Structure 1
């Protein structure tokens, strides 16, 4: 129960930060990408502030032997840059640039009443499902199994 409550509090803090900074507003995000027009640099400051807080947090947290609610830290072990990473990054960036939403900003935007966020989140869930299905199908074909 403590683990769920902690996740709830952390999610509320994150969502409040996204909402207060205006990053749940797709127009504000799209203005960041509009360098030749109505450029708004505030997204860079929000991201920079988040990086500073994260770097400080990781410095203290990773000195512990284990996280508070788990047996061990689940950190990425792969360091290579492969095709799925590049493709996923490209799709993420294109989607963010077209819609003004990223997953972190779209979820709080649901609660703020942005109707476009519902379309984005639904499309995101469908895209995740399709990507998993495609990956499963390709893995099955590579293993020589009928799909």
Structure 2
């Protein structure tokens, strides 16, 4: 198996595991996410535990991976070099948060929810893809 094929296969397996984790944890349900964001009403802390589990897993996982010295399917780690905040980053983060708060979906759960599409989900996906094209022009 070539390195490119192994890398692609590993990416698909990771995406499948991520989507499965979202489905099992209930994070593909926008009502659960909106319940977490509703701190003044019927607050649902479930998302906090899912995010906490993700942070702990990532914290441990990165340390284990970096102990190898290089990635399993590549020559070097591809880490972002840009470290300063700019208007594009802050604006994108604000748009992401507004979209997440209005719809209850962020990109991962939205794509994982494609098995049971709804009008709000499709509207979000159209807006998200439109945003990618607009961002490329900026």
Report the TM-score when normalising by structure 2. Answer: 0.91
Unaligned runs of 5+ residues in structure 2 are: none
Secondary structure class of the residue paired with 2:22: helix
- Residue 54 of structure 1 is matched in structure 2 by 58
Cα offset, 1:132, TM superposition: 1.2
Distance 1:32 1:20 in 2: 17
Check if 1:99 corresponds to 2:72.
no
Cα offset, 1:78, TM superposition: 2.0
* Larger Rg computed on CA atoms: 1
Check if 1:40 corresponds to 2:31.
no
Distance 1:122 1:114 in 2: 12
Matched length: 133
Cα offset, 1:24, TM superposition: 0.8
Distance 1:28 1:52 in 2: 21
Unaligned runs of 5+ residues in structure 1 are: 136-147
Report the TM-score when normalising by structure 1. Answer: 0.85
Check if 1:85 corresponds to 2:89.
yes
- Deviation string 1:104-131 (CA, Å, 9 cap, x unpaired) is 11110112x0313222112101111012
Secondary structure class of the residue paired with 1:62: helix
